[in-house]
Chain A
């Protein structure tokens, strides 16, 4: 007797099988690529990571002298702090603006204005990061020198503003989707109970959309951490423990971008840059994992 379902393949035309196989491959390939990239980056840095590199110094020393003749030192603390501080300041600027814009677009805009806004926000997202870097290097540089009477405008603040401008479109579009996904019946219920627009937003919409809003913020942050070109051009690119928004800093990503072209392939310096890559990988992985756990935690509550 034929068992239904088990012999499905016998009557299915070949084209179906091929298409199914192809789709399966597409699905699996994304996993393969991630592991492939991780493997490659890890292999390039592994020799030095396990033989010779002082991991304690690597993570806690601010001394980054990879090309010193006598005493090469590979301390990335200043770079790690650079990445985190510029991202944190960028988020401080981008989150209020991004969420505010999302609330405006989803709750206050007329439909016509909303469409215009969305197109402009998408345009903002499409600007290449090197262009942002260029704006930072020229326009924002001058502006910061004038406004803060700083000796030079290529600072953490400059980079953060550029990163904020780059992550705002991501935050706006994801947060707006999240707000739009809140059922209209909630709005109606709150309004019929006499809620003002503002009460409706902070008592009903923001709590109801909090998962999506958190995802929006985290994706914006992820974009900031990984961004290279704009921060390379706008932050001064100087290895420094950041002291304030007007410090010159350098980030992990910018270091790799600036130095990888100059090093001897396979050498210590080359390998350390790949170890920085592993570090970045780990950081983004941790951010994503935390985001996942937080969102799952919210769902359960």
Chain B
């Protein structure tokens, strides 16, 4: 299936010989991968293996910390994102991100949803009725509309964690991203919240390409179509999820997925 995909050029992200250093420490070693359009790809591996670092390369949010050196090439939708003419705001509009801890902004639920749109469009270009419709659509997409429609003016930080995390997904949608990166999106949530977010991903996949970092192998198995195993900064194995878990090719992958270490 992977070779067929390459033939059809149906990739959202293609990385070629990607290496990354934090100061002197090399966190990513020669990573090459291709992430399929419209599917959920999981990144798994033990702590410190570079999966979050890799994820944060794809919207260049890594560069928030100084002292980061990147070599190699990352193409998002066919365009090298390290080219000089790439605009970071545009890149981040296309590649949305959900963080480990829900991080809604300390403004109303309504304004959180519109935040992205407001910063990407000219001042006061959004009419009130359009804004209302966009907020409703985004909240409906993450199944929060019925719970929150009467308190859109409430501060987003006052919501329960599960609702906050869904809101963080919802606020990406008005920007019509192609790719959504998720960095352990459920680690702050309880079992019910985790299932709710997973369900949401399944519903939304197809329309969006998901790339999810997770520590939870059961979660990787449940939600992902393809799975990437990383170890000490290297990409060890990238296959369809069921195949990776049932018949891992690399002994390191086998050790990890059979929980001999982790």
Given contacts A196-B89, A203-B119, contact A191 B64 (CB under 8 A): yes
Given contacts A193-B115, A194-B119, contact A186 B64 (CB under 8 A): no
A192 touches B92 (CB 8 A): yes
Given contacts A185-B99, A204-B105, A207-B106, contact A195 B89 (CB under 8 A): yes
The chain B residue with its CB closest to the CB of A196 is B89
B116 touches A193 (CB 8 A): yes
Q: Among residues 96 to 117 in chain A, which have CB atoms less than 8 Å away from a CB atom of chain B?
A: 110
The chain A residue with its CB closest to the CB of B102 is A185
Given contacts A188-B61, A203-B119, contact A194 B103 (CB under 8 A): no
* Min distance, Cβ A40 to any Cβ of chain B, angstroms: 45
Given contacts A188-B99, A189-B99, contact A194 B90 (CB under 8 A): yes
B99 touches A186 (CB 8 A): no
Interface string of B152-172 (1 = CB under 8 A from A): 000000000000000010011
B88 touches A190 (CB 8 A): no
Interface string of B82-105 (1 = CB under 8 A from A): 000000111111001101010111
Chain A CB within 10 A, most for which of B66, B106, B119? B119
Q: Among residues 234 to 261 in chain B, which have CB atoms less than 8 Å away from a CB atom of chain A?
A: none
A195 touches B99 (CB 8 A): no
A193 touches B61 (CB 8 A): no
B104 touches A189 (CB 8 A): yes
B52 near A: Cβ within 8 Å?
A: no
In the assembled complex, the Cα of A190 lies from the Cα of B92 at a distance in Å of 10
B103 touches A189 (CB 8 A): yes
The size bracket of the interface on A is 10 to 19
The residue from B66, B101, B119 contacting A193, defined by CB atoms under 8 A apart: B119
Residues in chain A near residue B171, CB distance under 8 A:
193
The chain A residue with its CB closest to the CB of B155 is A301
In the assembled complex, the Cα of A199 lies from the Cα of B171 at a distance in Å of 17
B106 touches A191 (CB 8 A): no
Counting residue pairs across A and B whose Cβ atoms lie within 8 Å, the total is 62
* Min distance, Cβ A45 to any Cβ of chain B, angstroms: 47
Q: Among residues 174 to 215 in chain A, which have CB atoms less than 8 Å away from a CB atom of chain B?
A: 183, 185-196, 199, 203-204, 207-208
In the assembled complex, the Cα of A194 lies from the Cα of B91 at a distance in Å of 7
Residues in chain A near residue B92, CB distance under 8 A:
191-194
Residues in chain A near residue B89, CB distance under 8 A:
194-196
Given contacts A188-B99, A189-B99, A199-B119, contact A194 B175 (CB under 8 A): yes
Residues in chain A near residue B107, CB distance under 8 A:
207
The chain B residue with its CB closest to the CB of A204 is B105
Interface string of B39-82 (1 = CB under 8 A from A): 00000000000000000000101001010000000000000000
* Min distance, Cβ B194 to any Cβ of chain A, angstroms: 20
In the assembled complex, the Cα of A208 lies from the Cα of B61 at a distance in Å of 22
Residues in chain B near residue A194, CB distance under 8 A:
88-93, 116, 119-120, 175
**What are 12 A-B pairs with beta-carbon distances under 8 A?**
A185-B101, A186-B103, A186-B106, A188-B103, A191-B92, A192-B96, A193-B172, A194-B89, A194-B175, A195-B89, A195-B119, A203-B115
Inter-chain pairs besides A193-B116, A193-B175, A194-B120, 9 sampled, C-beta below 8 Å: A191-B64, A191-B92, A192-B59, A192-B96, A194-B92, A195-B89, A195-B119, A196-B119, A203-B118
Listed from nearest, the 6 A-B pairs whose CB atoms lie closest are A194-B92, A194-B89, A185-B103, A189-B103, A192-B97, A193-B116
Interface of B toward A, CB cutoff 8 Å? 59, 61, 64, 66, 88-93, 96-97, 99, 101, 103-107, 115-116, 118-120, 168, 171-172, 175
Interface of A toward B, CB cutoff 8 Å? 110, 183, 185-196, 199, 203-204, 207-208
